[in-house]
């Protein structure tokens, strides 16, 4: 155990009220979060949301305007990057073009004046870890994008950092390679057991890999939680909208039952039921969020279902695994996805535009958002 690690209670990175201002722009606005040891933690948000600036402050490339950052209990607010045991994988990889793959990987150990025999052994290990053992003598430009990505990973991991920071590392790879690398990164993280902090604007990527996700917007952290919590129990409209797709219906709370099921009346007079995440009281203005895969379209009204509305099918889009159906509900188009579990050759099994059906959902499938 290293000195200064005693008091951290399994917290690798602790940000307390961190603010970063550039001239008159507030890039990071009172961000607080605790990232646990060995966790795959993602910061997710649209570009300009402050996620990269937060990452750069943890790396030491930027210093906070106010607030504190602790690495394993040690305050590092103004410590330069070369005195922090943290390594970064850059979006552009930033491999040194004038060095071979092995020299790139050895760079960090050389700077720390590790014994040459030690360096050679650890470099070989790191390259084996990312399955690039045969490429040690190549130059970065002789490698493909995915291989360069793995060199960047090896170059960081060889130093056994306390925390590994990844700044949209898969951003410049094509879709298929990106999917492969997502799984590879996740299994690599599980094997080495190092805390990963991963910055991305790709919600699917964050959901696939992360133990926990911090959703950010406009310099603030909106919600921190597991992928399931973020997707199933978003606490605000932005999170519900940014992660996955959803239908919003605005309305006013009429009554609340024990267990948080509330009845609301929409602006256009529909009576709807949903699950409140935060306490609501009658008269409150709220937004109902129903994900397209959590609502159903039936030929006949299911008996005894309160959330049931007669609707007209406006549009259908067949996308292979699913059919995306737009129905008219009140004044709005409501989007729902039906899994194509039956053969497409069975014409009767699928909705056609102009048909009438019954849209319904269980009350707990709809989330009531207060902000």
Partner 1 sequence: MVDIQMPQSVRIAGGERRRSAGSLALGAHAILTLVFLYAPIVVLVLFSFTRDSFGVRWTGFTFDWYTRLLADQRLLTAAMNTLVVALISTVVSTIIGTMTALAMERYRFRGRTGFDALLYLPIVIPEIVMALALLAFFAFSFGLIEALFGVRFQFGLATVTISHIAFTISFVVVVVRASLKGFDMRLEEAAQDLGANEWQTFRYITLPLIMPGVIGGALLAFTLSLDDFVITFFTTGSGVSLLPVEVYGQVKRTITPKINAISTLMLLVSITLVFLSQFVQRQREV
> Dihedral of the CA atoms 200, 203, 206, 209 (nearest 10)?
-130
Rounded Cα distance between 150 and 90, Å, is 11
Shortest distance in whole angstroms from residue 202 CB to partner 1? 21
Handedness of CA 16, 21, 26, 27 (dihedral sign): negative
Burial code (b: 16+ CB inside 10 Å, e: under 16) for 1-18 equals eeeeeeebeebbbbbeeb
61 vs 350, which CB is nearer to partner 1?
Answer: 61
Considering only 3, 97, 193, 258, the residue that binds partner 1 (CB under 8 A) is 97
Going from the C-alpha of 23 to that of each of 15, 54, 65, 330, the distances in angstroms are 22, 17, 11, 47
Indicate whether 90 belongs to the interface with partner 1 (CB under 8 A): yes
Instruction: Tell me 284's DSSP state.
Output: -
Residues binding partner 1: what is the number (CB under 8 A)? 23
H or E segment at 322? strand 322-329
Minimum distance from residue 159 beta carbon to partner 1 (Å): 7
22 interacts with partner 1 by CB under 8 A: no
Distance of closest approach, residue 5 Cβ to partner 1, in angstroms = 19
What three-state secondary structure class fits 209?
helix
Is residue 155 within the footprint of partner 1 (CB under 8 A)?
Answer: yes
Q: Choose the stretch contacting partner 1; rule: CB under 8 A; options: 33-41, 65-73, 96-104, 224-232.
A: 96-104
- The alpha carbon of residue 212 and the mean position of all alpha carbons in its chain are separated, in whole angstroms, by 8
- Name the minimum Å distance from CB 88 to partner 1: 5
The three-state secondary structure class of 241 is helix
| Residue from the set 159, 200, 307, 365 that interacts with partner 1 by CB under 8 A | 159
Residues β-bridged to residue 356:
312
CB of 112 to partner 1, least distance (A): 5
Q: Per-residue string for binding with partner 1, 67-86, x by CB under 8 A?
A: -------------xxx---x
- Which C-beta is closer to partner 1: that of 45 or that of 60? 60
Residues 109-148, mask of contacts with partner 1 (x by CB under 8 A): --xx------------------------------------
Chain residues binding partner 1 by CB under 8 A are 59-61, 80-82, 86-88, 90, 92, 94-98, 107-108, 111-112, 155-156, 159
């Amino acid at each position: 155990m290293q000195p200064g690690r005693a008091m951290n209670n399994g917290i690798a990175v602790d940000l307390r009220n961190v603010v970063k201002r550039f001239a008159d722009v507030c890039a990071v606005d009172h961000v607080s979060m605790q990232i646990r040891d060995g966790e795959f933690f993602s910061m997710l948000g649209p570009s300009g949301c402050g996620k990269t600036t937060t990452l750069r402050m943890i790396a030491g490339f930027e210093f906070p305007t106010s607030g504190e950052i602790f690495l394993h209990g040690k305050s590092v607010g103004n410590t330069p990057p070369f005195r922090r045991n943290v390594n970064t994988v850059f979006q552009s990889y930033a491999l040194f073009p004038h060095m071979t793959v092995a020299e790139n990987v050895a760079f960090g150990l050389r700077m720390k004046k590790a014994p040459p025999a030690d360096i050679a052994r650890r470099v070989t290990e790191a390259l084996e870890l990312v399955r690039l053992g045969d490429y040690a003598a190549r130059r970065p430009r002789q490698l493909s994008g995915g291989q360069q990505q793995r060199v960047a990973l090896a170059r960081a991991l060889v130093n056994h950092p306390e925390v590994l920071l990844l700044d949209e590392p898969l951003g410049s790879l094509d879709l298929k390679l990106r999917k492969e690398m997502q799984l590879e990164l996740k299994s690599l993280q599980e094997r080495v057991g190092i805390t990963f902090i991963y910055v991305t604007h790709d919600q699917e990527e964050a959901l696939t890999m992360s133990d926990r996700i911090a959703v950010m917007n406009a310099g603030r952290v909106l919600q921190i939680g597991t992928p399931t919590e973020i997707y199933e129990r978003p606490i605000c409209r932005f999170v519900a909208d940014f992660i996955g797709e959803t239908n919003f219906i605005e309305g006013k709370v009429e009554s609340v039952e024990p267990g948080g099921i509330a009845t609301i009346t929409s602006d256009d007079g529909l009576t709807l039921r949903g699950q409140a995440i935060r306490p609501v009281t009658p008269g409150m203005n709220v937004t109902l969020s129903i994900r397209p895969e959590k609502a159903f379209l039936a030929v006949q009204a299911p008996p005894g279902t309160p959330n049931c509305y007669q609707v007209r099918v406006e549009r259908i889009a067949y996308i292979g695994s699913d059919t995306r159906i737009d129905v008219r509900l009140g004044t709005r188009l409501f989007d729902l996805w039906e899994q194509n579990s039956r053969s497409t050759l069975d014409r009767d099994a699928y909705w056609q535009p102009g048909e009438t059906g019954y849209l319904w959902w269980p009350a707990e499938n709809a989330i009531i958002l207060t902000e």
